[in-house]
């Protein structure tokens, strides 16, 4: 478990948590004034999966692009810059879990031996895939064009994308953010005021899960 404390600008006492986005964005409706708040995040145990599981995968956006321009997890423009760039993935409700799946990392590899590389691509959940009759109840990855193409052998990325939907194998993997210089970061989102606070929690190395977040008055 990893615990980190952050001191935020003057806000009011938390009444309720509105939802998960970002690696998780936590929104608070605030009522009672206090000079400062301190936040604490608890990150659960390692959930690395050693077994591969069947799923399907498609891609979206431009062929060599980063996929989402923000998405349901609230990353915004961060999807276009490293260490997130080209590692974007949207997932079906089975893995999205009403937002709790945001920030999780998975290895995904396709199965066609003629065109697929044996090396999986590692993606970070940053969005929810469109929900339709063919997706509900299934484990499905909707990857950025760049991430999808990385599953192909050298020189055949375009051919792989032309296949459309693929059968793939996936497994959970620890999140790694080389070059970020951070193990966890708190970003106060634009629009936050003395009465409403929106936080984006980034760069959770390891399993990428946030178990809970608490804020308190810091006198």
Per-residue pLDDT tens over the stretch 177-201: 766 555 666 667 777 887 887 766 6
Burial bucket for residue 84 (CB in 10 Å: 0-12, 13-18, 19+): buried
Query: Which residues have CB under 8 Å from 44's CB, separation 6+?
Result: 1, 207, 209, 211
Q: Which two tokens stand for residue 126?
A: 């940053």
pTM greater than the 0.85 cutoff: no
Q: How far apart are CA 94 and CA 75, in angstroms?
A: 20
Mean pLDDT of the residues in the chain: 71
Q: Distances from the Cα of 63 to the Cαs of 11, 181, 216, in angstroms?
A: 43, 30, 45
Domains of the chain, by residue range, sit at 2-45+179-217, 53-172
User: 53-172 maps to which CATH number?
Assistant: 2.40.40.10
User: Which stretch of DSSP H or E encloses residue 94?
Assistant: helix 93-96
């Amino acid at each position: 478990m990893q615990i980190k404390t952050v001191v935020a600008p003057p806000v009011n006492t938390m009444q309720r948590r509105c939802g998960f986005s970002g690696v998780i964005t936590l929104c608070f409706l605030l009522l009672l004034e206090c000079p400062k708040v301190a936040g604490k995040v608890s990150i659960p145990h390692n959930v690395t999966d050693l077994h591969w599981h069947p799923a399907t995968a498609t891609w979206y956006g431009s062929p060599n692009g980063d996929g989402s321009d923000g998405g349901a997890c609230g990353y915004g423009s961060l999807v276009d810059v490293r260490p997130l760039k080209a590692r974007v993935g949207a997932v079906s409700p089975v893995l999205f879990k009403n937002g709790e799946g945001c920030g999780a990392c998975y290895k995904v590899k396709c199965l066609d031996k003629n065109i697929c590389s044996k090396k999986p691509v590692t993606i970070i959940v940053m969005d929810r895939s469109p929900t339709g009759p063919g997706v509900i109840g299934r484990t499905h990855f909707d990857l950025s064009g760049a991430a999808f193409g990385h599953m192909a052998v050298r020189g055949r990325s375009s051919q792989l994308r032309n296949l459309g939907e693929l059968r793939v194998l996936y497994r959970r993997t620890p999140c790694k953010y080389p070059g970020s210089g951070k193990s966890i970061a708190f970003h106060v989102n634009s629009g936050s005021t003395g009465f409403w606070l929106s936080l984006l929690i980034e760069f959770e190395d390891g399993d990428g899960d946030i178990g809970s977040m608490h804020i308190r008055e810091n006198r």
